[in-house]
Structure 1
């Protein structure tokens, strides 16, 4: 009696083949992880750049708005630049300021202005060594309140305390900034004698009311020095022209 041939045993993977397969899968996993990590890093970098650009754009838009809303009232300077801090008196967004012979004292309860200040402050911990900052007061309806806020704005720009710092907004890191005014058909340093407006009130008792050069200029040029960063680097210049000016400055 003849029996059939016994089946041959099935052959499995050798240890070397298993190790090779594991090595290939590990290499593929590493390549996939690196690809995902690179995509995530790129996305994070683009998001950071987008956030930085939007922040800078918002700051420039606020700068433009503050200047467009300058309030020129009797006995109240619309702007002042002391070489360190720019102070502005602007109409409040709550209501339109009405001009009256007595300044702010006799305006309606809904009318108000704000004191706004801009400065660049040294900060070694920030890119470029400093920050572009903005400060503003609350709505003001009385001239005495405006006078106090005007003084606080100058103090904030020079020796701010914790209370004044709490009201400031950090706009963007800067290496520095410059301002130029347009008067008499040319751009000049706002502290130079060329920027002085003839016929302004003398110093003394009216010093905080209308100093030479505190009348609203025809134009204002802002020059920002951007440090290396997501938003770019180099010099950024922005010109503002007084809305009531008839004819653009040359």
Structure 2
């Protein structure tokens, strides 16, 4: 009998088919791992950016400074305005929501009453794109602030939180609650709530 040598065509075809199936399964596995990694990295970036922006928000409130020249902290439903102590003076800071992006605007540090009053007036007329304006966080559907007064969270726009006279004389809250509602384009979902105890610095 002749010794059989090599492989038949059918054996080669079967082997090639098996290898193709294994390669296809392996490719799907690798592709799935790569996609999962990309999604995880994107989500991590989004979470890190959110935490960075919230840290800035907390830093602004931690440096809150009452000059008795303009309101140290106010919220009109659309924008939160505050005065904070900086290394070279006092800054006017505004947080506001424009087109599903949470913006932060900060004036240059000032040391004179008239300059601070001018910064306050400019803060009432912001349109976006001014020097000092930063699109801090995209994908925010809405936001709301609450003030802690008399052992309860209250709406800053409620009549109980508004002074009848000079707004500069308005008693500041002991705490601030921030509620951000994240939009789908943020890559995240749900609400983010941060409560901050105020430790006010006054002149």
Contact 1:180–1:221 at 8 Å: present in 2 too? yes
SS in 2 for 1:237: strand
1:163 to 125, 130, 135: 130
RMSD, aligned α-carbons: 2.5
**1:32-86 Cα distance to aligned partner (Å, 9 max, x none):** 1111111111111111111111111111111111001011113232122222111
**1:132-188 Cα distance to aligned partner (Å, 9 max, x none):** 2212122223333323322332222xx33x335x72132241121111112233221
Q: Report whether the alignment pairs 1:227 with 2:197.
A: no
Aligned to 1:117: 94
CA deviation after TM superposition for structure 1 residue 197, in Å: 4.1
Contact 2:68–2:168 at 8 Å: present in 1 too? no
The two structures have a TM-score, normalised by structure 1, of 0.71
> How far apart are the structure 2 equivalents of 1:197 and 1:152?
23
- Structure 1 runs not aligned, ≥5 long: 1-6, 96-110, 123-129, 202-209, 246-250
1:14 to 8, 11, 22: 8
Aligned to 2:116: 146
Aligned to 1:33: 27
Cα separation, partners in 2 of 1:223 and 1:181, compared to 1, 3 Å = same
**Structure whose alpha-carbon radius of gyration is higher:** 1
- Structure with the greater relative contact order (CA < 8 A, sep ≥ 6): 1 or 2? 2
Aligned to 1:194: 160
SS in 1 for 2:94: strand
> How far apart are the structure 1 equivalents of 2:160 and 2:177?
15
> How far apart are the structure 1 equivalents of 2:107 and 2:155?
27
Contact 1:53–1:231 at 8 Å: present in 2 too? no
Contact 2:89–2:110 at 8 Å: present in 1 too? yes
> How far apart are the structure 2 equivalents of 1:73 and 1:195?
20
> How far apart are the structure 2 equivalents of 1:74 and 1:235?
34
The two structures have a TM-score, normalised by structure 2, of 0.85
Q: How many residues align?
A: 201
SS in 2 for 1:37: helix
**Alignment of structure 1 residues 1-150 onto 2, 5 Å:** 8=2, 11-92=5-86, 95=87, 111-122=88-99, 130-150=100-120
